[in-house]
Amino acid sequence: MRALGQILMWLGFLAGSFASVSQLEVQDDKWSTVPWLWYAVSLAVGIVGIVLLRRAKHDDHRDEDKTEAEYSVITSSLAELSTAVETLCQHSRCPPADALKFIDDRCAEPLSDFADSRQALVKRFGMAVYADVMTEFASAERYVNRSWSAAADGYMDEVDASIRRAQQHLANARNLIAAAEQAV
Amino acid sequence: MSDSDSPQNAQAIPSADGSIPVRHGPYPEFTWTAVLVGWVIGALIAVSIGYAALILGFAIEGSELAAILGWGVLRGVMRRTSIVENNINQTIASAVNGASSGIMFSVPALFILSRSEGFESVANFNTPLMILACITGCVLGLAFVIPLRKQMIDFDRLAYPGGIAVATILKSPGAGVRKAVLLLGGALISGIAHVLVLSLMGEDHDWHAGSQFGLPAMLNLSLYLSVMTIGVGYLSGKGGFWFGCGGFICYFLLSPLLSQFGGEGVAAMVSSPNEMRGVLYKPLGIGMLVGAAVGGIVAAFPLIASAFKSMHAAGQQKDSGVNAYNDEMPIRFLYAAIGIGLLVMVMIAFKSVPEMTLGRAVTMAVLGTLWVWVAGVVVAECIGRTNWSPLSGMTLIAVTILILVAKGGLDSAATITSSMVVGAAICLAISQASDMMLDLKSGYLVGAIPRRQQWAQFIGAWLGPVIVISLMFLLNNQYQIGSDKLPAPQAQALASVTEGILNDNVPAYRYTAGAGLGLLLAMSGLGGIGVLIALGFYMPFQIALTYTIGNVLRIVSDKSLGTKFGHEVGIPIAAGLIVGEALVGVGNALYQVFFAAPETAETAMLGCQQLSRWM
């Protein structure tokens, strides 16, 4: 179904594009430059393709194994990030260079992994939960980045304040996911 | 889920090499120093780039330059030590500079048109009203785009290659010697490469590989010789791949098909790819961009609604706890800015020419304001996905809409004046919207507070129109805009297009067909391909091809060397590639302006020829 959907969508798009540019402007009646009937049929074929694609995507979402694998990356990276941030909160008076290296070594990868797997949230919980979780996650990431900048400049009070903000946003994200888990 | 789920459970922070002096107290961010330095740097860049744009016919991205100059002034001269303070300074400077390209593309067209018979009065526009229009446009553009920050940066996580480059510069003091060397190395490579290209090829940076290998001209197989473009493609990653696909669809698929089965005139035109682009692919691409962007908004509506809902909720909460929305500008302020901005736009349209009726002014202002929102979304998304902005195309549609509204009841000269005054405001709005999103991405990467950056953008945006319009009058009095000394190629092009619109020469049918195709792709659920393919139709294929090299390099490096290599090595080099070429571009522009006087007219004419291919 997916392959057929792709074929029909692209066929519709390409045929519609061809129809749109197949003639130079007709001076007497400009709007007749595009053969609209042909164009409409092309679009209709494309829309059928999209319907098939969306149905295939819907079936994908119900593929437990695949979704579970993606979702496990979400939970593990969030846990890893939370641990790293927790550790930094406990040692917020460490030298700035140490904090800087620690953020680079321990936070960059889980942040990236979570972001790369974020679509698993949409599949599992829907758009609204995705938006709420990503709002908290993005704020956490921004505050981790702020801690990095402050550490690079030596402002350890700001490192401490920002990493605690990041910790709270991560906790919010985890609570939102836990609540969504229970609601499923 | 608990911490015990974690694969790692480190309890200590290992020691690192090197030392950074410890400082106490608040972390400087939104300071008077940042504001004042931002205004000064922004004014310098706006004057330089605005002046160069009038002569050469193209504007240069000023964000990286602002970051580097800010870095030099704040850290080097003033011994200040805050990455986020420099980010605010850069935000203000680039907001000031946002006016240079927007105004130089649109307003000088009035001076040029005034030298045509029957249009003498169009140069007598109300100058304070024009400045007010441009400032109002800036406010509207920012107020419309700020609520989309969450969707584009937090939810969709668009790349904003230019934003990554700026953030890499801002973070360089703490990124370690290795990353700084990679950044400088990249800048050096692209700077040298650009000097070579400029000296060997002049203004034409296209290498026509296809013709050298005997391939048909319709395939348009040329490469834009720009290492920066490869860097941009690398930073965009595989997500930007569809941009190149748009170009391949045009020249590798549609052109050969059209040569066989197209209408008579089209079949004869396929061996001239630039003409094909100008007459067929570009108008279709403009329509597609609009359709894809509107479709994208519809598709992302649950996310946008969620963001708005939460912003409203945050505004009603009195707690000072950790709410992600406390870092955002109050939504009510943005609503007020849009409402007041719309009213001021009505007043501006009404006052633009004596013959204007209130009903027509309201129609122009409302349609113009709605277009600011649509075009702001289009441009912000294009910049986010590819670093290229279809500003000229969006301005063209704006001017078309305005002229169609105005010309029903006004004479030609009044139609042009009123449309250009409101059109300039829209052009500035679109320009500010894309600059704001790029800066917010940089801010995200350095950990800036969005609300502070948004205020900084407002603080910078008003100054640009004042400086650039004053500069424009000074130069027009001194040299006359449109003369050999100041050819203003972009404004020349807009002036001729404006005359075309007055004569009903608008391919609205192709815009409409493109919009339907863009909507189709937007509904596919394949994130963002509509806008990217549309941009592939709109932009010169040479650029798309070179950009695709960067995409391929990123895909290969991620597959073979891992994503960590990309973050640690690839991104600093790619950011350097952008910076080096941008700096040489600015340097070359200034050199052409001040030291290449005998060739200025010739250079400018080359610029005109370039532009006629690009527009």
Least confident span in A45-59, B27-41, B85-99, B377-391: B377-391
Q: How confident is the model at residue B237 (pLDDT cuts 50, 70, 90)?
A: confident
Predicted confidence (pLDDT) at residue B123 exceeds the cutoff of 90: no
Write down how long chain A is: 184
How far is the C-alpha of B135 from the C-alpha of B341, rounded, in Å? 10
Question: Residue A149: which residues within 8 A CB-CB, separation 6 or more?
Answer: B82, B83, B84, B171, B174, B446, B447
Q: What is the mean pLDDT of chain B?
A: 84
- Separation of alpha carbons B293 and B539, rounded Å: 17
CA atoms within 13 A on the CB side of B296: 28
- Contact status, residue B53 vs residue B104, Cβ threshold 8 Å: yes
Do A24 and B510 lie within an 8 Å CB cutoff? Answer: no
Asked if B293 and B378 count as a contact pair (C-beta separation under 8 A), the reply is yes
* pLDDT(A62) > 80: no
Split into its structural domains, chain A has a count of: 2
Say if CB B570 and CB B328 are below 8 A apart. Answer: no
- Among A23-27, B135-139, B163-167, B385-389, which stretch is predicted with the lowest mean pLDDT? B385-389
Which residues span the domain enclosing A42?
1-56
Q: Output A131 or B203, whichever has higher pLDDT.
A: A131
**pLDDT at residue number B52:** 72
Look at residue B455 and tell me whether its pLDDT is greater than 70. yes
Give the CA count within 13 Å in the CB-facing half-sphere of B264.
1
Kindly state whether residues A42 and A81 are assigned to the same domain: no
Q: Angle at Cα B135 formed by Cα B129 and Cα B136, nearest 5°?
A: 85
Predicted confidence at residue B322, as pLDDT, reads 56
The pLDDT tens digits of the residues spanning B270-301 come to 999 989 998 999 999 999 988 888 888 787 77
Q: Helix, strand or coil for residue B207?
A: strand
Both A130 and A178 in one domain: the answer is yes
**Position with higher pLDDT, B592 vs B575:** B575
pLDDT at residue number B602: 44
B152 three-class SS: helix
pLDDT at A56: 86
pLDDT-derived band at B6, boundaries 50, 70, 90: very low
Across chain A, what does the average pLDDT equal? 91
Query: Are A120 and A175 contained in the same domain?
Result: yes
The answer to whether residue A79 neighbours chain B at the CB level (below 8 Å) is yes
H or E element at residue A75? helix A64-90
Q: How many contiguous H segments (helices) and E segments (strands) does chain A have?
A: 8, 0
Is the same domain home to A13 and A95? no
Is residue B78 over pLDDT 80?
Answer: yes
Shared domain for A91 and A163, answered yes or no, is yes
Q: Which of A90, A97, A158 sits opposite B20 (nearest CB)?
A: A97
Per-residue tokens: B291: 């359709």
Other Cβ atoms less than 10 A from the Cβ of B565: the count is: 13
Residue A48 has pLDDT above 50, yes or no: yes
Retrieve residue B202's tokens. Answer: 């002049």
Digit-coded pLDDT (tens) for B314-342: 655 544 455 656 788 888 899 999 999 99
Residue B127: predicted pLDDT? 93
Q: For B258, name the nearest residue in chain A, comparing CA atoms only.
A: A22
Examine the pLDDT at A26 and tell me if it is beyond 60. yes
Q: Which 3-state string (H, E, C) describes B181-200?
A: HHHHHHHHHHHHHHHHHHHH
**In Å, what is the CA distance from B26 to each residue of A150, A161, B73, B398?**
10, 10, 21, 45
pLDDT tens digits, one per residue of B361-387: 999 999 999 999 888 888 888 888 888
Q: Tell me which residues of chain A, numbers 121 to 140, contact chain B at a CB-CB cutoff of 8 Å.
A: 127-128, 130-132, 134-136, 138-139
> What CATH number corresponds to the domain at position A120?
1.20.120.330
The CA-atom distances, in angstroms, between B339 and each of B424, B456, B461 are: 19, 21, 18
Partners of B15 on chain A (C-beta within 8 Å) are 95, 98
Q: Are residues A94 and A156 in the same domain?
A: yes
Question: Domain check: are A95 and A164 in the same one?
Answer: yes
Per residue in B505-534, pLDDT (tens digit) is 889 999 999 999 999 998 887 767 888 899
Given a cut of 90, whether residue A51 has pLDDT beyond it is: yes
Comparing B44 with B101, the larger pLDDT belongs to B44
Asked if B322 reaches chain A (Cβ–Cβ under 8 Å), the answer is: yes
A 10 A CB-CB count for B209 gives 13
Q: How far apart are CA B140 and CA B342, in angstroms?
A: 8
What is the reported pLDDT for B603? 43
Same domain, A7 and A71: no
pLDDT at B314: 60
User: Is the distance from CB of A122 to CB of B42 less than 8 angstroms?
Assistant: no
Using a CB–CB cutoff of 8 Å, tell me whether B523 touches chain A: yes
If asked whether residues A137 and A49 sit together in one domain, one would say no
pLDDT, greater one: A67 or B396: B396
- Residue B18: which pLDDT band, with cuts at 50, 70 and 90? low
Please check whether residues A17 and A97 belong to one and the same domain.
no
Are A68 and A150 part of one and the same domain? yes
Average pLDDT of B2-19?
51
pLDDT digits (tens, 9 = 90+) for A107-146: 999 999 999 899 889 888 888 899 999 999 999 999 999 9
Question: Which residues of chain A neighbour B157 with C-beta distances below 8 Å?
Answer: 115, 118
Q: How confident is the model at residue B141 (pLDDT cuts 50, 70, 90)?
A: very high
- Same domain for A68 and A152, yes or no, is yes
Cβ of B254 within 8 Å of Cβ of A154? The answer is no
Q: Give how far A40 is from chain B: nearest CA, Å.
A: 9
